[in-house]
Amino acid sequence: MNKKSCVKILAVLMVGLLFSVSMGTVAYAGSVYLIGISDDGHDHMSCYDTITPYLESMGYSSGEIYKRKDSKYANVMAMLKVGEIIVTRSHGGAYQDSADNYIGNWIVLSDKNLYNSDIEDLADNSLSKAKLIVYGGCLTAAGGISSAGIRNLTVASEVKGAATVVGFTKEISCVGANYWVGKFFEYLSKGYNIDRALNQAKQDTVSEFSGVNTNIDSCMYRGEWSTTFN
């Protein structure tokens, strides 16, 4: 390749980069995305400092671990499509019908909510790069599949290609969720499979907060149970 061709290629790349910046978009690539949405009185970020060394011992370098505070909807959707491990810590909620059945749910992001229907609308296998997604918020696994065929975030993400997706069927406490996330990744770093790590972390959290209703025992997963990361 001659010098003139190299200059042309560089110019094209620079134009593309400037266009992306001007449009407010970001090209995402990486292995781990740790997403926390801030809110007064709620700690949605500190657990990520706890789990960073565990992720590194699982084979992810510091350059492959991205901590994102107050991410917007478009950026989170992009991260879900390219990350191997994605963890969100934010508020969550769910809709109920007249019979009190859950018929849809969401997590809160910095600009708007991410709904189960947003995941449903993705093309098949859009999330196939994800080995593990953890929706660390209230009611992110509430409802399963309704009579109308509406899936919750956890089920929908697995259907769209993610290998394993973790969520919670009840409202959970921040302190309990942060502790559980830390323990879950600690056990994954020790070579536990997802099922064993999830359940051991759940037991540890219930024991740690004995007498406190954290509802962390409502965590559940969809997809592969035997995956290990170390």
Nearest in space to 74 (alpha carbons), one of 15, 142, 138, 23 = 23
For residues 118 and 139, state if they share a domain. yes
For residues 100 and 212, state if they share a domain. yes
Total domains present in the chain: 2
Burial class (CB in 10 A: 0-12, 13-18, 19+), 85: buried
User: Residues 34, 83: contact at Cβ < 8 Å?
Assistant: no
Q: Is residue 228 part of a domain?
A: no
Q: Is residue 201 part of a domain?
A: yes
pLDDT in tens, 42-100: 999 999 999 999 999 999 999 999 999 999 999 999 999 999 999 999 999 999 889 88
For residues 46 and 129, state if they share a domain. yes
Nearest in space to 108 (alpha carbons), one of 142, 134, 74, 72 = 72
pLDDT higher than 80, residue 109: yes
Q: pLDDT averaged over the chain?
A: 88
Q: What is the pLDDT of residue 28?
A: 63
Q: What's the CA gap between 87 and 73, in Å, rounded?
A: 14
Which range marks the domain in which residue 16 is found?
1-25
Q: Is residue 229 part of a domain?
A: no
- The beta strands (E) that lie in 13-136 are given as 32-36, 65-69, 85-89, 92-96, 102-108, 113-115, 132-136
Query: Which pTM was predicted?
Result: 0.87
pLDDT in tens, 171-210: 999 999 999 999 999 999 999 999 999 999 999 999 999 9
Q: Is residue 96 part of a domain?
A: yes
Q: Is residue 153 part of a domain?
A: yes
Q: What is the pLDDT of residue 146?
A: 59
For residues 17 and 79, state if they share a domain. no
For residues 69 and 11, state if they share a domain. no
Q: What is the pLDDT of residue 3?
A: 52
The pLDDT confidence band at residue 21, using thresholds 50, 70 and 90, is very low
In the chain, % helix, strand, coil (3-state, to 5) comes to 40, 20, 40
Q: What is the pLDDT of residue 171?
A: 96
The arithmetic mean of pLDDT across residues 122-148, rounded, is 90
Q: Is residue 230 part of a domain?
A: no
